[in-house]
Copies of this chain bind each other. A is one copy, B any other.
Amino acid sequence: MITAHDKMTLVKRASSSLANATSAQRTQALLNVSKLLLERTDEIIAANKIDLDRGVTAEMTKSTQDRIRLDAARISAIADSVVKVTTLPDVIGDVIRGMTLPNGLQISQVRVPLGVIGVIYEARPNVTIDIAVLAIKSGNSVVLRGGRDAQSSNEVLVRLLQDALALAGLSADSVHTLDEFGREGAQEMMTAVGLIDVLIPRGGPGLIKSVVEESTVPVIQTGDGVVHIFVDETARLDWSVEILHNAKVQRPSVCNAVETLLIHEKAVDRILPAILQNLSEANVVIHGDAKTQELFEAAVAATEEDWHKEYHDLDLAVRVVANLDEALAHIAKYSTKHTESIITERIENAERFLAEVDASTVMVNASTRFTDGGEFGFGAEVGISTQKLHARGPMGILELTSTKWLVRGAGQTRA
């Protein structure tokens, strides 16, 4: 029986195939992925139906069922997005820096693939394609471990990826899934030093915490989002209402949705009623501090716990602050360093907020929902890094690369 370790060894051995492929070969592999997605739509839908039926039996929530569902329209949209990735610039082999040293040595730092990327993720099967496509584009091989909920869909999609690679003359072993090994597969990835160059967890806080704590391979932490919007004294009323609505209601389950509203005390009377009115019409539950509760009867009392909470739902914590300093202090204390936004008309406050807030993405007068690889023009995203090392914010192709130094000499020795 082939083990998880065996499969990772296969990927590691195969990784030189993609790493040394030409850009034209990698593009061909991606075009093959797109083509096969369309050709095999029926097969994918059939496999997906097995997952969905299993989900119904297991009383999966409607929203999880929707996340897992693949239909012809969704598959066609994925196929289109794969083609879009082929049009992005190829970054592998780019010379980033270069110089000639006093002794005549010519050194240059060039962009190379990371090697083997491990991704542990949950639910949505389109993530399987998103990640593999960005990896192939950047010359990386991948070991995938998706959620059990989409195992049948993922199995068909991984085979499709392997076929697409083989048709382009690249090693089919560049992509493997460890789904069949369940939790043990994930465990093996976390300690696969020498086989996996970087591990990216994509999923809920529990998954991410366990990967960060248990891994001996380097990890990129993603997706923790206690996201704040600060409505400043001078904020525009219409923008405040629209941005809060968009950031909370459009898709509350994602990491870039707002979780806490901070509002300047001098903006409370002018702006807060309109925001809260609008949100409660959208069924948002307000968890307010004392001042918010005074103003808005329906608000439930916010506790210390609320300021730490990623609701992922139609809930919003609201706190009135005395000034920008108090807003910055609150954010410094409770932020998970994902995305923070200020709504203001004062340039001084906007610039201070941009400079002093320590987060992957800091915004002025915009919805926090824009922190996203697709929105940023990356084609797709591998996740949103909330750490400072290697990658910060939405991770696209560049974030899947490393560098190496090339040194060309003529017999130089060190003095």
- Identify the A interface with B (CB < 8 A): 16, 19-20, 99, 101, 105, 107, 109, 114-115, 197-198, 212-213, 216, 218-220, 236, 238-239, 242-243, 245-247, 250, 341, 350, 354-356, 358-367, 369-371, 375-377, 387-390, 392-394, 402-414
Contacts and interface: CB of A to CB of B under 8 A. Distances in A.
A388 B105 contact: no
Given A115-B358, A358-B115, A376-B107, A388 B413 contact: no
Contacts of A107: 376
A107 to B, nearest CB: 7
Contact of A361 (B360, B377, B405): B405
Nearest to A388: B402
B405 A243 contact: no
6 contacts: A198-B388, A250-B414, A367-B412, A367-B414, A392-B403, A392-B404
Contact of A388 (B115, B247, B414): B115
A402 B389 contact: yes
Contacts of A390: 389-390
A375 B407 CA distance: 12
B412 A366 contact: yes
Contacts of A16: 356
A405 B236 contact: no
A413 B366 CA distance: 6
A358 B390 CA distance: 19
A361 B407 CA distance: 7
B114 A410 contact: no
Contacts of A402: 388-389, 392
A197 B350 CA distance: 26
Given A105-B366, A392-B402, 14 more contacts: A20-B356, A99-B377, A115-B388, A198-B389, A218-B387, A238-B411, A246-B414, A250-B413, A359-B404, A361-B406, A362-B406, A365-B409, A388-B402, A393-B405
B243 A367 contact: no
B20 A409 contact: no
A364 B114 contact: no
Q: Which of A115, A239, A366, A393 has the most CB of B within 10 A?
A: A366
Contact of A412 (B370, B408, B412, B414): B370
A359 B405 CA distance: 8
A397 to B, nearest CB: 12
Contacts of A218: 218-219, 387, 389
Contacts of A377: 99, 101
Contacts of A413: 242-243, 245-247, 250, 367, 369
Contacts of A361: 404-407
Given A197-B388, A198-B388, A413-B246, A20 B366 contact: no
B365 A404 contact: no
Given A242-B413, A375-B414, A403-B392, A365 B408 contact: yes
A376 B376 CA distance: 34
Q: Which of A114, A350, A407 has the most CB of B within 10 A?
A: A407
A206 to B, nearest CB: 16
Contact of A389 (B197, B364, B365, B407): B197
